[in-house]
Each structure stands twice: as C-alpha cells, then as structure tokens.
Amino acid sequence: MCIFLLSPAGLANPTAVSSSCTDTSKQQQQQQQQQQEQQQHEEQERKQHQHVDHQQQQMQQQQQQQQQQQQQQQQQQQQQQQVNEGLRVETLKTATDKLLKNYQQEIDALTRRAKTAEGNFNALLHLLLQQPDLMVILRDLEAAAARRSSSGSDSAAAAAAAAAELERQLKLQQASAAELEAKNRHLESECNRQGDTKFAGVSSEEFKAKALPGCGEAFEQLEEEIGRARDQSITVRQLQQQLQQQQLQQQELQQHFHQQLEAAVAEKEQVVLKQIAGAGMQQQLQAAQQQIARLEGRMLQQQQQFALVSHCSSSSNSNSSRSSSSSSSSSSKCAYRRMFLAFVFSV
C-alpha cells in the first residue's frame, strides 16, 4: 500500500516519493516477519510450558498414587495392629477372668475353712469350759503315782533283801563245795600215797584184803560228804530257781506298773487334749510337763532298783536286758507323749 503525500516539495520531486514508499513496505514486511517469529517463539514456549505442565501433572499423579499406596499400607498396618491389640486384649481379659474366678474360689474356700475352724474352736471352748481343772487331775495323778511308787519301792526293797540273802547262801554253798572237793582230793592223794608205800609189790587181792578195810571208814566219810555236797548243790539250784522266779515277778510287777502309768498318762492326755484353749493353758502345760518329769524320775529310780536286783545273778542277764529294753521303750513313749503335748499346746 503506497500513500502519496502531496506537498509542495513532492510536487516538485516524484522520485523521492517512490523511494519512501518502498522503505515503508520493507518496514512493514520486517514487522510482519518479526511478528511471525514472535508468534512462533510464543508457540514454542507455549508448547514447552504445556510439556512441562504435563510432566508436572504426571509427577503429581505419581506422587499422589504413592501417597495413596502409603496411606493404604498404613491403614492396613493400623488395622492389623488393631486386630492384634484386640486379640491381646481378649486373651488378657480371658486370663484375668480366670484369675479372678480362681481368686474368688480360693477366698470362698478360706472363708469356709475359717468358719469351720471358728465353729470347731467354739465347740472346743465350750467343751473345755465344761471340763474340770487340770491341776487337780495332775495332783491326783501324782499322788496315785507316788503311792504306786512307794508300794513298788517297798516290794523292790524286799526283793533286793531276799536276793542278797540268796546270794549269801549261794556263796556259802559254793565255798563248802570247794572245801569238800579239796578234802576229797586230799583223801584220795593220802590213800594213794599210803597204798603205794605199804602195799608195794602186793597183788591186787592182797591189796583189797589189807587196804580196803583200813580205808573203808575214810571212803564212807567221803561218800557222806559227797552226798551232802550234792544236797547242797541241789539246794543251790533251788535257790537259783527261786531267785529267777522272784526276778520274773519283779519284772511282771514293773511291766504292770508301767502299763498302769501309761494308761493313766494316756487318759490324762485325752483330758488335756480336750482342754487346749486360752493363754493360761501354756502355764498349765509347763506345770504338767514338770509333773510328768517328776513321775519319770521316780520311774527311773524304780528301774535302777530293779536293775540292782536283776544284777544279783549272772544267769539273769538276759532277763535284765529285757526289762531295761521295756523300761527304755516306756520312757521313750513318755517322752514322745510329752513332745506331742508341747506341740499341741504350741499350735
């Protein structure tokens, strides 16, 4: 497009006007080219921006997907933890319920046991209140034991005196028997010596005819003394039998006394077991133990007396060992009863 400007100078120079037109067209073309280049550049930039935006969107989408996956995993883990926690809570609850149930059962059992013990204690207390005084019973028991021990000691003393007398007679008989044996040997040696000196070289018939009449009286005396010695030995055997019988009687008396004492102690133990209650029973128990100790001391004294009687003869060793074993067993029984009483009172 060419614009002609009319001016006073233009009217005078037409070449100048045509050159200006060409310059303007060139400028216009350059402007158009610049505009096109600018548009192309803008399109390229827009495309680049679109590509970058698309990449950013894809990255954002990937990040969102990753975040969603992480959230899902976290949710699954939380759900698994919740399930595990629920199972753990259920297990703990079951164990707690079982423990509480066992605890309640144990409390119920202890309550029943306490009620039973209280009932037994009340019944025992009621029974003890109805029982007589223990010290009176023990004094009666001590008096009875003293009477029995005095009678037993008297019988033991009499038996000991009889045994001593029998032992003295036995020694006398043994001495006389030894004297007779010595005399017999002396007479035999004397006869042999006289026969050897007086009747040497004499035949047996002559010896009988000469020696026997002279020694007849000595032989008769010797036979009489031998008969007396035999009678004395028989008497000694009878005395020994009497001594053994007396020892057996003493052992029977001792066993009977021990049996009576054990029966009395057992009876009083039953009474004592029924009278266990209160703090004052401990003092009564100590007094009872002292009484039992005194009774045992007296019983040991009687055992010593019986042992002295039983040692009078060597033939009664076995019987004395039996009596000592029976006495030791009875004393062990008394000691066991005393320990049992101490244990019961301590409980």
Last residue of a domain, one of 70, 90, 119: 119
Cβ atoms within 10 Å of 273's Cβ, excluding its own: 13
* Residue 318 domain flag: no
pLDDT confidence of 1, banded at 50, 70, 90? very low
Are residues 65 and 29 both part of a single domain?
yes
Residues 261 and 182 in one domain: yes
| Mean pLDDT value across residues 225-238 | 71
163 and 191 together in one domain: yes
In the predicted structure, residue 142 carries a pLDDT above the cut 60:
yes
In a domain, 325, yes or no: no
Cα separation, 347 vs 123, in Å, equals 17
Q: Which of 95, 119, 143 is the last residue of a domain?
A: 119
pTM equals 0.26
183 versus 203: the higher-pLDDT residue is 183
Tell me how many domains the chain contains.
2
The residue among 119, 142, 176 that closes a domain is 119
Separation between Cα atoms, residue 261 and residue 141, nearest integer Å: 9
Say yes or no: 201 and 307 in one domain.
Answer: yes
Find the distance separating the first CA and the last CA of the chain, reported in whole Å.
140
183-to-48, 178, 186, 231, 269 alpha-carbon distances in Å = 167, 9, 5, 17, 67
Residues sharing a CB contact under 8 Å with residue 128, sequence separation 6 or more, in sequence order? 274, 275, 276, 277, 278
Q: Collapse the DSSP code of 13 into the 3-class scheme (helix H, G, I; strand E, B; otherwise coil) and give the result.
A: coil
Q: Are residues 258 and 224 in the same domain?
A: yes
Say if residue 148 is in the same domain as residue 294.
yes
Q: Does the residue 186 lie in any domain?
A: yes
Degrees, nearest 5: CA angle 30-31-32:
90
d(CA 239, CA 245): 10
Check whether residue 135 and residue 265 sit in a common domain: yes
- Residue 286 pLDDT > 80: no
For 42, the domain range is: 8-119
Q: What is the mean pLDDT of the chain?
A: 70
3 has pLDDT over 50: no
For residues 196 and 291, what is the distance between their CA atoms, to the nearest angstrom? Answer: 80
Asked whether residue 152 carries a pLDDT value surpassing 80, the answer given is no
Task: Read off the tokens for 114.
Answer: 């306490």
Do 111 and 141 fall into the same domain? Answer: no
Are 137 and 87 found together in one domain?
no
